[in-house]
Amino acid sequence: MTNKLDVHTKKHWERIEVLGLLDTRNSLEETTLEKSSDGHTKPKRYSNGLDKTSKKYYINRKDSPVRNICEDFTTREEAIKMFDKLLWDSWHACNAMEENTRVWFASRIKEYKEGHNIDLICDCRRFRGNDAKIGLPTSNHPMDCHGYTLKKYIEFLAEEKDSL
């Protein structure tokens, strides 16, 4: 028996997360684990809140300006590729974004720069899907989501505005 602790790594949340409908963002309290005299570890099993509560946005509802409108025309996988192309090649490159969508992105960039956590919640799945980073087992829910395109775009715009 060794004195080395064998524990799973803690999930570190990113500032912008793409979540399913049943996902929640919380964290375990950071403490060092100690072994008892009989060799067992006693981790704290309660969770506490994050530094700042996250702002939640349902990104695939009918009233959302950033919903994946391409899902109405084709399969899920193709719709995600089409949305990515629409956002980068049309909305961004040609400056063809509708005003309510532009306002939505401006608000998310402001929140991001103020240090808020942002949860982009999509109803395309109940949980994150096959997220290898946190070791979830294989799932029937899709691994990809148009929320990852939105996340990249928000981070891109925030960095772009910082460099100006």
Residues 93-102: what's their mean pLDDT? 94
Contact criterion met (CB below 8 Å) for 122 and 131 = no
Q: How long, in residues, is the chain?
A: 164
d(CA 27, CA 144): 24
Single-letter amino acid code for the residue at 164: L
- What percent of the residues of the chain are helix, what percent strand, and what percent coil, each to the nearest 5? 35, 10, 55
Say if residue 133's pLDDT is above 50.
no
24-82 pLDDT per residue, tens = 776 544 445 556 666 666 554 444 444 567 899 999 888 999 999 888 888 888 888 99
Give the β-pairing of 27-28 and 16-19: unpaired
Q: What is the mean pLDDT of the chain?
A: 76
Average pLDDT of the residues in 88-110: 94
Answer whether residue 7 shows pLDDT above 50. Answer: no
Q: What is the pLDDT of residue 39?
A: 65
The residues that bridge with 147 in the sheet, in sequence order, are none
Q: Is 160 helix (H, G, I), strand (E, B) or coil?
A: helix
DSSP-assigned letter for residue 163 = H
Looking at per-residue pLDDT, the higher value among 158 and 75 belongs to 158
Q: Domains of the chain: which residue ranges?
A: 16-22+51-163
Round to whole Å and give the CA distance between 123 and 18: 11
Pick 11 or 89 by higher pLDDT.
89
